[in-house]
Amino acid sequence: MTAEGRFIQQANEYEEKVVQVNRVSKKTKGGNKIGFSVLVVVGDKKGQVGVGLGKARDVASAIRKAASYAKKHLISVHMINGTITHDIFLKRGAAKVLLKPAPEGSGIIAGGAVRTVVEAAGIRNISSKVLGTKNQASNVYATLQALQKLMK
């Protein structure tokens, strides 16, 4: 709050990326109830990243809920010169993710779900391979868990 008593809105320092939008329906006595489930990745491109799943009757509300959850559950990613510190292979359910550090200038060599997470985290050079499943939600959560394990 400033001296004049007005609030100053801070610029949103987190970048939000919608990974997946699912239309879901529930059969009720009165007919079908339609809803949406949205997976959002949030990051500051400085080493913090989070994932949120939001459910609501409309897409905008679901995105807002997912982004809010992701911002409350951010993890820090340990990086050196824009890449991860060492190789890591992680299995989470059917998803298997292999992340490898890459030399400066090689860029992000990653597919869909992994690319979204590492870009949001601010990693500039990485090589990855996703095995096991093509489910984007599983791959996003597996990538996030792999980046979290780098700290340990």
> Is residue 141 exposed (0-12), middle (13-18) or buried (19+ Cβ within 10 Å)?
buried
Q: State whether 64 and 121 are in the same domain.
A: no
Domain-embedded: residue 29: yes
Residue 42: CATH number of its domain: 3.30.160.20
Q: What is the pLDDT of residues 104-139, one digit of tens each?
A: 999 999 988 999 999 999 999 999 999 999 999 999
Q: What is the pLDDT of residues 10-46, one digit of tens each?
A: 456 899 999 999 999 999 999 999 999 999 999 999 9
Q: State whether 41 and 88 are in the same domain.
A: no
Domain boundary among 36, 60, 75: 75
Q: State whether 94 and 132 are in the same domain.
A: yes
Phi, psi of 52 (to 5 degrees): -135, 145
> Is residue 97 exposed (0-12), middle (13-18) or buried (19+ Cβ within 10 Å)?
buried
Give the total number of structural domains in the chain. Answer: 2
The domain in which residue 90 lies consists of 78-149
Please report which confidence band the pLDDT of residue 1 belongs to, taking 50, 70 and 90 as the band edges.
Answer: very low
